Amino acid sequence: MKILVTGGAGFIGSAVVRHIINNTQSRVVNLDKLTYAGNLESLTSIASSERYAFEQVDICDRAELDRVFAQHQPDAVMHLAAESHVDRSIDGPADFIETNIVGTYQLLEASRSYWKDLPEARKAAFRFHHISTDEVYGDLEGPEDLFTETTPYAPSSPYSASKASSDHLVRAWRRTYGLPTVVTNCSNNYGPYHFPEKLIPLVILNALEGKPLPVYGKGNQIRDWLFVEDHARALYKVVTEGKIGETYNIGGHNEKQNIEVVHTICALLDELRPLSQTALGIKAHKDLITFVQDRPGHDIRYAIDASKIQRELGWSPEETFESGIRKTVIWYLENLNWAQRVQDGSYQRERLGTQ
């Protein structure tokens, strides 16, 4: 099986590519524009595989998409390419509209044009797998409520609204044109190779440098945390075994308040890097926590009911939050060079041939 993965140099996308190359016999064509969030250094371990190919292409470029489909002849598409940072969407929503909505439209049309001309057997086997977020559902009210696959959409930010729009486009292309699609909505991911602007890597790296650990509001926002490698396993299972037209919610069964997450990271760093406390003149890493003004429209609680994918496809997360966050902290401690190159921009400058 040959899979076209869009956004394969991003955080979740690179985990999917690594999983496919390392754990299956499938082939991957990684299509990525290489924006600030795309980092080919996250794929160094598999880049030399004969089953891997890379195409630097913008999903908004229809002509290039048509070329990639014609040249590589994929059996499935896993669409992860997206602008995904909520704060950035508040400051500048235009890129989110362009990539998440217009880009998804262009990819759907390129896929449909390619798919309709396939031989019947390959046409029947083709899949378009759209990877989305639980943020399209908005905010949960009751403490026992969970997002299910039938929860009404109520996005709160420009980011989640743009993802909700892309979800609707995918379902419309199945209903109107018969394109064989499947949709997944996931909870908050964390793990190795996470871009340092997101909460968990930001806290780890700031703590190591003795910088403030910014926490929105009181830190009482609740998220369901999903280890990225568990998510990658789930996505491959859906693209290979999922039922056309279905939606599958993917969650980690790990609800934590943001402040709990930060305290957990601080405690792990106290254990694993205690010398930094002495060097920085602080008693514990938690002393660096700083509460900052909450972001506009910040949802309080997300939580996913992932029973459908477990029941129908046999997937469940292997990592608890405790095991996954320990692996994550250790990975960053052992890969500070990767993080430093992202923080100072050298991963991009070298790619562009500049100093």
Residues assigned a catalytic role: 134-135, 159
- DSSP tag of 136: G
Report residue 305 CA to chain centroid gap: 18
C-alpha 169/C-alpha 29 separation (Å) is 23
User: What is the number of other CB atoms lying within 10 angstroms of the CB of residue 172?
Assistant: 13
Q: What's the distance, Cα to Cα, between the start and end of the chain in Å?
A: 40
Length reported for the chain: 355
Q: Which amino acid is at 178?
A: G
Q: Which two tokens stand for residue 48?
A: 């030399």
140 neighbors 146 (Cβ within 8 angstroms): yes
Q: Of 133, 116, 35, 42, whose CA–CA distance to 79 is shortest? A: 133
C-alpha 323/C-alpha 161 separation (Å) is 33
236 neighbors 19 (Cβ within 8 angstroms): yes
- DSSP tag of 101: I
Helix H or strand E segment including 257: strand 255-257
157 neighbors 228 (Cβ within 8 angstroms): no
Q: Which amino acid is at 304?
A: I
At which residue do the structure tokens 């602008």 appear?
83
